[in-house]
Amino acid sequence: MREITIQDGNIEEGYIHGREGRIWYRIAGRDRTKLPMLCVHGGPGCPHDYLKPLELLADDRPVIFYDQLGCGNSEKPDRTELWTIDYFADEINEVRSALELDEFFYFGQSWGTMVGAYYLLNRTQKGVRAAVFGGPVMRARSLADDCAVLVSKLPPEHREAIQKAEESGDYSSVDFAAAVTEFDRRHMCRLEDWPQYVIDGDRKTGWQVYNTMWGPSEFICSGNLKTFDLMPRLSEINIPVLFTCGEFDECTPATVSDYHMAVKHSKLAVLADTSHMHHVEKPREYKELVSSWLGQFEKK
């Protein structure tokens, strides 16, 4: 069931009444005529706000965002047992059904690529014309290993703060926060001043979801995703996939290249001088890249 709360020009917002709670959604370009693009955010638990640059694509197609249950503008049930990849894959079907997305393009960023690929392999590829996976993670161990290498290149005081936090289990220190800030400046978003929409989204993070599924920090995966590994099955993805990453992405170009090589109908684009949020760092360039990719598959 779909409950519309705002309908203003080409913008629509509302709630989808899912089986576990109300899921907030937003459609930009709702009256546009090209095939819609469904955008699935990262985290897990990091709401849609930081994907705002993708609204540039709404000049000719509906661009649909939603906050997964447990974060952002959606309901936040206090149920750690709910936060599994199977729940979030089913949630995609709930969104598709409520918004009548028989055919669409899929865009996933970071965790959104994990649940997106899982959806394609364990639910259905029918109706998904093509996909874009930005800052992708197809194997949790690969991201953890890449982060370990990147952490090893931080200044000694930051490396020591991260090591101390991981050994003690206490991630609340000022020194650890400073280390995370430096890591993020290098590998998450390299802009000197982060846009307000990124900051706003970070404040609405669903930490219960993140801690349950990933863990206490970006650098160590101890949650229920720690054994996540789709590499053996990526060859079963039969739709076209554009993999994108930044030159300095925590999802490193070398690792993303491995994903690309495993998906037969795929392309890899590495954006120079950018990191994990390359869509934020170079929004116009990213818009043109994605628009060109989708345009190839607009018509069957």
Task: For residue 110, indicate whether it is catalytic.
Answer: yes
Choosing from 41, 67, 74, 110, the catalytic residue is 110
**Per-residue pLDDT tens digits for 221-237:** 999 999 999 999 999 99
* The predicted structure's pLDDT at residue 299: 83
3-state SS, residue 217? strand
Blockwise average pLDDT, block size 10, the chain, 300 residues: 94 98 99 98 99 98 99 98 99 99 99 99 99 99 97 98 95 96 98 98 98 94 98 99 99 99 99 99 99 93
Choosing from 67, 146, 184, 249, the catalytic residue is 249
Choosing from 260, 276, 278, 279, the catalytic residue is 276
Q: How many other CB atoms are found less than 10 A from the CB of residue 264?
A: 12
Q: How many other CB atoms are found less than 10 A from the CB of residue 94?
A: 18
Task: For residue 217, indicate whether it is catalytic.
Answer: no
Candidates 201, 208, 276, 283; CA nearest to 26 is 201
**Per-residue pLDDT tens digits for 160-201:** 999 999 999 999 999 999 999 999 999 999 999 999 999 999
Residue with tokens 């628009």: 291
Candidates 49, 17, 25; CA nearest to 206 is 49
Task: For residue 276, indicate whether it is catalytic.
Answer: yes
Residue with tokens 């200044």: 155
* The predicted structure's pLDDT at residue 166: 94
* The predicted structure's pLDDT at residue 216: 93
Element (H, E) at 132: strand 128-134
Where do the domains of the chain lie, and which CATH numbers do they carry?
2-140+195-295 (3.40.50.1820)
256 neighbors 249 (Cβ within 8 angstroms) = yes
Straight-line distance from the first to the last Cα atom of the chain, in angstroms, rounded to the nearest whole number:
30
pTM (2 decimals)?
A: 0.98
